[in-house]
Structure 1
Amino acid sequence: MERRELLKMIALLTGGVIIGGNTLLTGCSPEKGKLQNKLVFSQQDQDFLDEVADTILPATKTPGAKAAKVGAFMTVMVNDCYEEKDQKVFREGIDKLNAACEKMHGCEFMKATKDQKLSLLGILDQEAKAYQAKRGDLPAHYFTMMKQLTLLGYFSSEPGCTKAMRYIAVPGHYEGSVPYKKGDKAWV
């Protein structure tokens, strides 16, 4: 699967433009002469992001986002591909998500039950969609960023490509017409 196709698919699934998508298409290299700020993400932050991602894409018959180490992927992408304003929104979003969980359920996100996490992320998803619809020039909603990076990280990881999708190792022969049965996985 080509990078452009993956970005189109994620934009379609999340209902918006991929944050940092332009940089992704150009290979995550900042403009010449422009230094990007690097955020510091602790192991605790990565574990938190893994938990958010695993709530979005949990393990089923296939490995979940945590198994694909999506939290570490998110931190690299935010540092290497996001503009400074988006980096700030993402970083503050970790605290906002945790505060929303405290307010809604009386506990930190990491200590919440699976059902509590799901209900919170469902509400944040609706909030993010409403925000995206009226945001204009404002930065994207932090949950939209987390959701997009979860999908991008998972479906470009080894577990995502080889276990969640149909996979045939290259080299292989070209077969132009493969029958599709309802419920089949997508091809990589």
Structure 2
Amino acid sequence: MAIMTHGAGAGIRRREFAGVFAMLALALGIPAAAVHLSRPEDLDEATDLQRRLIAEVSNIVIPRTDTAGAGELGVGDFVILALAHGLEGSRAPMSAQALPVLARFRRPDGSLRHLQWLEHELGIRGKGHFMTLSPDHRRELLRALDAEGFAQDNPQHPWRTIKALILTGYYTSEVGGSQDLRYELTPGRWDPNLPLEPGDRAFSSDWTAVDFG
């Protein structure tokens, strides 16, 4: 059983953006998965293994169903880029007192190296690198981390930031925004009352309909 049950379809058009245009792309509604990594030195030197890890984590959070999984759409690369540019407050200083175990992953400015933390945390929990574990074991570890991260007494847990970026990356992609969600051009037609059936997809224009928990 995956953490999220959204998912999957054909490919997605990709464009190349310089790093500083990532936030602009998001603001303009350009599919997040279209962002292409070009200068890894600007992204805390993310390794190939870390890129594989965040792609796999993205696929576990939003696996393939009748639409493509998040990792398949390049959401892992989006997360790396988003972390580098501080989306979801990821470059804000963190309190060392709030989570002392994170001290080794803090930058000189007090912000957290989320990707390095995630790789280390999953490795400790799995007693080996996450990518060497079986698919079932990976899902089990991430499910436990997810439950811990969203516990009421962990408001600054770094997993919350990572998961929020995975969801943002997926639901601003072409597949997530127009296939996994229902898309209707705004303003469209006004219907004061709409029937709602079990299993109906949320509308991508109604962001509050997306469950970020």
Matched, 1:174 2:189: yes
Matched, 1:100 2:124: yes
Corresponding letter in the other structure for 1:182: P
- Measured in 2, the distance between the counterparts of 1:142 and 1:51 equals 18
Normalized per residue, which structure has more helix? Answer: 1
Residues 88, 172 of structure 1: alpha-carbon distance in 2 compared, 3 angstrom cutoff: closer
Matched, 1:123 2:138: no
Contact 1:49/1:71 (8 A) holds in 2: yes
- Measured in 2, the distance between the counterparts of 1:165 and 1:145 equals 22
- Measured in 1, the distance between the counterparts of 2:62 and 2:121 equals 17
Q: Which residue of 1 aligns with 2:177?
A: 161
1:9-62 superposed Cα distances (whole Å, 9 cap, x missing partner)? xxxxxxxxxxxxxx99xx7xxxxxxxxx85222333222111011111111122
Residues 83, 115 of structure 1: alpha-carbon distance in 2 compared, 3 angstrom cutoff: same
Contact 1:63/1:163 (8 A) holds in 2: no
Q: Which residue of 1 aligns with 2:153?
A: 133
1:97 Cα deviation after fit? 3.0
Corresponding letter in the other structure for 1:148: A
1:84 Cα deviation after fit? 5.3
Q: Give ranges in structure 2 of 5+ residues lacking alignment.
A: 1-22, 28-41, 95-110, 205-213
Residues 80, 181 of structure 1: alpha-carbon distance in 2 compared, 3 angstrom cutoff: same
Taking structure 2 as the reference length, the TM-score comes to: 0.58
Q: Which residue of 2 aligns with 1:32?
A: none
Matched, 1:54 2:59: yes
Matched, 1:80 2:85: yes
DSSP 3-state at the match of 2:85: helix
1:98 Cα deviation after fit? 3.6
1:155-186 superposed Cα distances (whole Å, 9 cap, x missing partner)? 11111111211123x47842324332221101
Equivalent residues, number: 146
Please report the RMSD computed on the Cα atoms of aligned residues, expressed in angstroms.
2.8
Identity %: 25
1:53-101 superposed Cα distances (whole Å, 9 cap, x missing partner)? 1111111122111122111111111111232546524133233234234
Corresponding letter in the other structure for 2:91: E
Return the match for 2:44 from 39, 53, 64: 39
Residues 62, 88 of structure 1: alpha-carbon distance in 2 compared, 3 angstrom cutoff: same
Corresponding letter in the other structure for 1:115: D
Contact 1:89/1:142 (8 A) holds in 2: no
Note the 1:4-43 alignment, pairs <5 A. 38-43=43-48
Q: Give ranges in structure 1 of 5+ residues lacking alignment.
A: 1-22, 28-36
1:142 Cα deviation after fit? 2.6
- Measured in 2, the distance between the counterparts of 1:95 and 1:126 equals 18
Corresponding letter in the other structure for 1:174: R
Q: Which residue of 2 aligns with 1:114?
A: 135
Q: Which residue of 1 aligns with 2:70?
A: 65
Corresponding letter in the other structure for 1:62: T
Return the match for 1:186 from 197, 202, 206: 202
